Amino acid sequence: MSDTLEQFEQGLAEVASASTDAFQGRTTEQALREANAKLVGPNGQLTKLMKLMKDLPADRRRELGQQANALKQEIQAAFDASLEGLAKAAREAELTGPALDPTLPGRHARRGRLHPLTRTIHQLVDVFLALGFDVEEAPEIDFAANCFDKLGFPPDHPATDMQDSFFVQRPGGELDVVLRTHTTTIQIHQMLQRKPPMAVICPGAVYRRDDDATHSPMFAQIDGFAVDEGLTFAHLKGVLTAFVRRLFGDEVPVRFRPSYFPFVEPGGELDMGCVFCEPWKGDAGRTRACRVCKGTGWMEILGCGMIHPVVFEAVGIDPKRYTGFAFGMGIDRISMLRHGISNIRLLYENDARFLGRL
């Protein structure tokens, strides 16, 4: 009994002394609450002490209980006062500190939109859909055979070189898979699946070991082709001329130049009048000074030609019965021309400040 009494009285004295400056120098609400909990929280010093009360000698219980309660109230009052002091100080600082400027413009959430390349793809696809083409996709990682051999590339063609293409090492050790270097692979995939007549376009990412102002290791292309009985170079010219005029305007001139691609015969390239100096408007001085077409008045935009019989043979279509035409172009290049951008990287760096202006 007397042990409890002694322990209680001593404890009470300790709590009383601890409580005198328990809240001093505490400048956050969190610190104040922690100090308070040490004394009167569920595991606080005073709380523990009060649990001993029932073991006190009966004649002292009432008096000591009152003392403990009084101490608890003091602590509560000191805690409340400290909290209030803290709030006052914060309010004071707000009132005497720098004024809030209500005229500052607010921060708007910025509205996103489609990337310029995506918009160009949509425009190109729309034009070809209107001309009766279907849109299909082909794998970005493909067999080298679909990318090169079946398209008539000889085994020693530079494109089949490791310097020019990204080959993928397969677990078996074979090097027969590549990141496709062009979307022309669509011809193989679709001709194996469909029966003529067919007209298909394929937009998508392609990969080459190229990296400078006008070449990025990954870029976007769109290829198209049509196969039917009786298709001629006239159909090719008609479709591609309509395409250029739909996209760049009815007055833009086009010309076809002979060129070589292993999967077409005859093969060609299409040039269109430079949309920066607009030579068809007759200002020869403007064309002479044009840096985009280097004074020629023409811009090269795509490769094209009549599908080579070796391609038909590779996919089991009879080249005596069917003919076809094909074309392919860089979408980045079209996008750059439409927006007057000179560095391809600007399309891939994803700087919203730049892209938002296109």
- Which residue ranges make up the site for ligand DAH (CB under 6 A)? 182, 184, 223, 261, 264, 303-305, 326-328
Minimum CB–partner distance for residue 204 and ligand DAH (Å): 12
Choice between 23 and 225, CB closer to ligand DAH: 225
CA distances from 271 to 124, 301, 345, 349 (A): 17, 6, 24, 29
Choice between 49 and 347, CB closer to ligand DAH: 347
Tokens of 127: 């034009």
Q: Count other Cβ atoms within 10 Å, centred on residue 183.
A: 24
Answer yes or no: are the C-beta atoms of 309 and 264 closer than 8 Å. Answer: no
**CA pair distance 50, 113, nearest whole angstrom:** 67
**CA pair distance 22, 20, nearest whole angstrom:** 6
Give me the amino acid identity at 121.
Answer: I
Minimum CB–partner distance for residue 181 and ligand DAH (Å): 7
Minimum CB–partner distance for residue 352 and ligand DAH (Å): 30
**CA pair distance 243, 262, nearest whole angstrom:** 24
Choice between 79 and 223, CB closer to ligand DAH: 223
Choice between 116 and 305, CB closer to ligand DAH: 305
Minimum CB–partner distance for residue 182 and ligand DAH (Å): 3
Listed residue (200, 151, 199) closest to 178, CA to CA: 151
DSSP string, 154-208: -TT-GGGSTTTS-EE--TTS---EEE-S-GGGHHHHHHHH--SSEEEEEEEEEE-
58-96 vs 2-20: helix crossing angle, rounded to 10: 10
Minimum CB–partner distance for residue 201 and ligand DAH (Å): 10
Choice between 22 and 311, CB closer to ligand DAH: 311
Choice between 56 and 307, CB closer to ligand DAH: 307
Choice between 50 and 240, CB closer to ligand DAH: 240
* Strand, coil or helix: 101: coil
Determine how β-strand 298-307 pairs with β-strand 134-135: unpaired
Strands ordered across the beta sheet of 298-307? 134-135, 198-207, 218-228, 323-330, 298-307, 264-273, 254-258
Minimum CB–partner distance for residue 259 and ligand DAH (Å): 8
Choice between 273 and 303, CB closer to ligand DAH: 303
Choice between 233 and 276, CB closer to ligand DAH: 233
Minimum CB–partner distance for residue 303 and ligand DAH (Å): 3
Q: What sign does the dihedral 258-260-265-271 (CA atoms) show? A: negative
**Phi and psi for 300 in degrees, rounded to 5?**
-80, 125
Minimum CB–partner distance for residue 101 and ligand DAH (Å): 57
Minimum CB–partner distance for residue 227 and ligand DAH (Å): 12
